[in-house]
Homo-oligomer: A and B are copies of this chain.
Amino acid sequence: MENYCFGVDVGGTTIKTGLFSMRGELLEKWEIPTRKREGGSLILDDIAQSLKEKMQLRSISTEAVSGIGLGVPGAVTPDGIVNKCINLGWGVLPVEKLLSEKMAGISVKAGNDANMAALGEYEAGAGKQYKSLVFVTIGTGVGGGIIVDGKPLTGSNGAAAEIGHLPVIYEEEETCNCGKKGCLEQAASATGIVRAASRLLELSAEPSGLRNAPYLSAKVIFDQAKSGDALARQVVEKTGWYLGIALAHAGCMIDPEAFIIGGGVSAAGEFLIDIIRKNYQANVFHASRGAQILLARLGNDAGMYGAAYLIINAQEAL
């Protein structure tokens, strides 16, 4: 009998779901909207209904589903308790137990979404040939995941690999969303990059293509930098410096075989990777200088791949 698992990646706007074979093949993927009202209390019901519909459609029995992997945007303790997902309205919630009950007892394993994306890239993406990696996703915010010996490093409070909150900016005066000051996210997220450009445009009288742009975005800034705009280039160099310093910290601590860079900002491609690499190599301990720095490959699917592999790897460990 063929066995299956589901990988579910719960985001702030959509829930991405994949049906996988236990060999890790993605058989089908689909999305449903994330209904955040009523304190997010509808989300698990919506997931359960969506999975049950798919099982019915494909005539998959409960027994044929080895498990459901669940990535959520928040910390998850080793025993499957979510400890606040502000984006979803969740407080402290035993998600594994709750979803399992709604799914006729099918086993559920949950993890932090960035850790799941890291595991996805490790098992099925850019990290496939490496034994350890540090994944950094640069989008509206900056998130991270660390995989050592095939397992996400979760931390004692489910808060390991909070790479977006490494304290890298020493002179920062504004407060990060997390409540402290000087986080990597403030310098290197899409928002942070736009902020840095706006500041520089205000402080300097230097001519720049950015002054004529209808609006500022990380993409506009990278495009200008690539086409030789000096001011845009300065912004990108500074962003890459902070990312390089952050990766060097991760390198000194974890000494991984590879770094995988994903998220919307990574669309800037090798242009960004080269600047990060230069600053990483100048600042990491010499023994770790050879670590690969690579672009992520799975895009928005990374999280559901990783969630599915939580189930596949647990099965293989038996």
Residues of A with Cβ closer than 8 Å to B?
A: 75, 83, 131-132, 146, 148, 153-163, 165-167, 170, 178-180, 182, 245, 248-250, 252-257, 282-288, 290-291
Interchain CB contact (< 8 A) of A252 among B162, B283, B286: B162
Q: What's the minimum C-beta distance from A105 to chain B, rounded to whole angstroms?
A: 28
A170 CA to B172 CA, complexed, in Å: 14
Asked whether B166 lies within 8 Å of A253 as measured between CB atoms, the reply is yes
Q: What's the minimum C-beta distance from A286 to chain B, rounded to whole angstroms?
A: 6
> 20 pairs across A/B with beta carbons < 8 Å?
A132-B155, A132-B156, A156-B288, A156-B291, A159-B252, A159-B255, A162-B253, A162-B255, A163-B252, A165-B252, A165-B285, A166-B248, A166-B249, A167-B283, A170-B170, A179-B286, A180-B283, A180-B286, A253-B253, A253-B254
**Chain B residues closer than 8 Å to A178, beta-carbon distance:** 285-286
Q: What's the minimum C-beta distance from A161 to chain B, rounded to whole angstroms?
A: 6
Q: What's the minimum C-beta distance from A7 to chain B, rounded to whole angstroms?
A: 24
Asked whether B288 lies within 8 Å of A159 as measured between CB atoms, the reply is yes
A96 CA to B285 CA, complexed, in Å: 25
| Number of copies of this chain that the complex holds | 2
A interface majority secondary structure: loop
**Chain B residues closer than 8 Å to A283, beta-carbon distance:** 167, 180, 182
**Chain B residues closer than 8 Å to A285, beta-carbon distance:** 159, 162, 165, 178, 180
Q: What's the minimum C-beta distance from A91 to chain B, rounded to whole angstroms?
A: 14
Asked whether B255 lies within 8 Å of A155 as measured between CB atoms, the reply is yes
A146 CA to B257 CA, complexed, in Å: 17
Q: Which of A153, A178, A255, A257 has the most CB of B within 10 A?
A: A255
**Chain B residues closer than 8 Å to A250, beta-carbon distance:** 253
> Quick one: given A166-B249, A283-B167, are A288 and B255 in contact (CB under 8 Å)?
no
